[in-house]
Amino acid sequence: MKKFTSLASNCDSLVFGKAVHPLSRNGVIIGAGRVLPEINFTLPPIEVSEINRLNILSQYKEMIAGICERCVELEQDQLVVEFELLPQMTIDPKWGGWITSILRETLDDF
C-alpha cells in the first residue's frame, strides 16, 4: 500500500478526479482524470431479521438494478457503489456477504 508522508505541495495539484496514483479495480479507474458518480444507499425503515431477509435482499437487488439501468440510459460506464451496513448487519456479517454478492452480480450483469 502506498504511504504518503506529506500533503500536496500546492493547490494546483488538487484537482477533482485526478490522483497521483490512480486506483483500478473491477474495470473502474479512480483518479485518472474522470469524476465518477458515487451511489450511496441503504434500506428504508425495516427490521433487519431473518424473517425479512428475502424482502431485504430483493430491495437491494431492485435498487442496484434501477441504478444500473439509469447509468446505461445516461451512458455512464463507470460508477462507485456504496451501501450502508446497518448495525444488525455488522453484528451478523452474513448480511454483508449476501448484499455484496447481489450488488457484484448485478454490476457484472450490466
* 29, 23 contact by CB (below 8 A): yes
pLDDT digits (tens, 9 = 90+) for 51-74: 999 999 999 999 999 999 999 999
Q: Coil, strand, or helix at residue 1? A: coil
pTM of this structure:
0.80
pLDDT band at 3 (very low <50, low <70, confident <90, very high): confident
CA distances from 75 to 6, 38, 55, 72, 95 (A): 38, 15, 30, 5, 31
Report whether pLDDT(98) > 90: yes
Q: If you average pLDDT over residues 27-49, what whole number do you get?
A: 91
Report whether pLDDT(27) > 90: no
* 81, 71 contact by CB (below 8 A): no
